[in-house]
Amino acid sequence: MPCSRFAMALTRWRTICWTNSLILRDGQRRLEMMPNEAFDKLFDKVPNDVSDKASDKASDEARYLYCIVNSPSCGQEHLGNIGIERQAVYTIPYKDIAAIVHTCQPVPYDSKDPRKAEGWVLEHSYVIDQAMKKYESILPFSFDVILREGDSQIEQWLGRNYDRLWKQLDALLGKAEYTVQIFYDYEFLKAKILMANLDLNDMQNRIENESKGKAYLLSKKLNQIIKRDLEAESRLLAEEFLLQIKEHADKLVVNDRPSWIPENFRDMKLMASYSCLVRKDNVDRLGEVLEGINSLQGFRVRFTGPWAPFSFVDFQGLA
């Protein structure tokens, strides 16, 4: 996938990062990776039956797709020269939905220049960001989805897939994706486990008085037990926190392998990472739950959004 190796993005977002004593809110544009693999998701939602990038045909007419939106006006709208390389972005409507596009050649955006490639991705993200502000519901496409057709063919494609697209837009109405990451202090939980287990305390005391060989074996055994108990405790706490979070999320996806952890969280262990689809009127309630978790000694929560709902859109199988 073009540009997928580039892991940094300049974007605008609302970020809430908790420490034990401070809530930081950042609405500025800055150079930082999008949290919770949101940057990666710009690349992994390409529908193979829709995205037909490279062209062997004589026609040089194509449209670059940013997203599908609900469009109650039912008419074409011009959003300005806000697209990739300042392309004019506009809507192609069909009934009460529309595709946000710009006119392009049927050739993928690809470059060996990292800065140029990053710029394209940022501009793609910016258009989606603006669409989220203007429309109540949005189905975002990944970076570099190009349809080798003109406006009338795109309109026909929307018509063929209208029911499915409308159903997804309706389900996402008034909602956005948020990232939740819960971190814990390994040494704090380790000390807590030792304090609660007299046998482990006794083993630790014996290590200090044994010969070097026996002390090594005991220490190895102790660490194995602590690791086992700590993992069990971590799972139990994660399940408890998950139940609290689910109360305020319409849908939730577990991110088993987050691609990136912020520098200021790398002294802690990641306990859980979620993508949550949340209604606007539930965001503050979810924030209160997470603030409660963050206030617990030994824990920190990272809460970011709103994002376009990449984790909750399905373009597979469109006609």
Record the pTM: 0.77
Q: How far apart are CA 295 and CA 298, in angstroms?
A: 9
For residue 299, which amino acid is it?
A: F
Contact 149, 62 (CB under 8 A): yes
Peptide bond between residue 262 and the one before it cis (omega within 30 degrees of 0): no
Q: How far apart are CA 28 and CA 304, in angstroms?
A: 13
First to last CA, the chain: 23
Q: Per-residue pLDDT tens for 71-125?
A: 988 788 999 999 999 999 999 999 999 999 999 999 999 888 989 999 999 999 9
**For each of the chain's 319 residues, which pLDDT tens digit applies?**
333 322 222 222 333 333 332 222 232 222 233 444 455 555 554 444 344 443 344 457 899 999 999 998 878 899 999 999 999 999 999 999 999 999 999 999 988 898 999 999 999 999 999 999 999 999 999 999 999 889 999 999 999 999 999 999 999 999 999 999 999 998 888 888 877 777 777 777 777 776 777 777 877 887 788 888 888 888 999 999 999 999 999 999 999 877 677 778 888 899 999 999 999 999 999 999 999 999 999 999 999 999 999 999 999 888 7
